[in-house]
Amino acid sequence: MFFIEKLKNYISLIKFSHTLFAMPFAIIGFFMGVRANNQQVNYKLFVLVILCMVFARNAAMAFNRYVDRYFDLLNPRTQMREIPANKLKHHAVLVFVFANIILFVLTTFFINKLCFLLSPVALMAVLGYSYTKRFTSLSHFFLGVGLSIAPIGAYIAVCGRFDLIPVLLSVSVLLWSSGFDIIYALQDMDFDKKINLKSIPVRLGFTKAKILSSITHVMSIILLIITGILLKPESYFYYTGLILFSLLILFQHVIVEKYGLKKINLAFFTLNGIASLLFAFFACIELYFF
């Protein structure tokens, strides 16, 4: 019973369900690689890519909770998180972080040499975000960089090289995730001001922050359109997924505009997760079958 309770606390700590944000794009990157190399799916490699995603995200999320534990204790919205609520000891969380870092690096070793050599760079990107809110309002874009590694990393796992199309996909993920993180940060604007943490809402205010979030999402969709054109002009399934993705992103902004912060979880978590899953489903059909 104790083990189960601890396991639940760790799953809650890393918000495992939020893996749906970046994981679908990693799968798209994987199938882009399969298509580019004109090869069959290597299921062992696919599992290794998924494990890399899980380990990297576990490390990043747990490290963020570890680094922000004092802020979380002060913020009424976050006081019941696992570390401030004393459900998990901070030193145990740090051990968890290092365990996932080791597992991530080991997994990249079994993928290919380039992935292994780039693993420290990936870790710096996903872990470094946790400190950015202390010195720059652009912290949301550092988060975006961390998530954007997923598709290009999966592509490199298959092909062992960089290419333009997966890089464009990664940049679109950067803009998409940065945009929804700006929306999410709206709810902590007053608290961040009080303790001198940096964010776009603190810097620009509520209304301008929402406008910037909309701009990043429009730019993300434009890049996804360009990606589809370069992939194959008549990518019908790809564009079906992109239309659904775009509509859900638009709906996210409509919810925030209409309800403010009252339904931020619906706008941030539910819609983004559904949007990425739907887009990945249709994009992978296009990549693998057509």
Residue numbers in the chain where pLDDT is lower than 70: 1-2, 16-18, 266-267
User: Which structure tokens are listed for 262?
Assistant: 């009252």
How much is the pLDDT for 1? 64
- Provide the residue range defining the domain that includes 49: 2-289
How much is the pLDDT for 8? 86
The answer to whether 14 touches 76, Cβ cutoff 8 Å, is no
User: Which structure tokens are listed for 58?
Assistant: 């576990």
How much is the pLDDT for 262? 77
The CATH number of residue 242's host domain is 1.10.357.140
C-alpha to C-alpha distance for 260 and 267, rounded to whole angstroms: 10
How much is the pLDDT for 10? 86
Count how many domains the chain has.
1
User: Which structure tokens are listed for 228?
Assistant: 């589809």
Non-local (6+) Cβ contacts of 186 within 8 A are: 201, 206, 209, 210, 256, 261, 264
The answer to whether 30 touches 46, Cβ cutoff 8 Å, is yes
How much is the pLDDT for 2? 66
**What is the residue-wise DSSP string for 204-271?**
H-HHHHHHHHHHHHHHHHHHHHHHHHHH-TT-HHHHHHHHHHHHHHHHHHHHHHHHTTTTHHIIIIIH
How much is the pLDDT for 17? 61
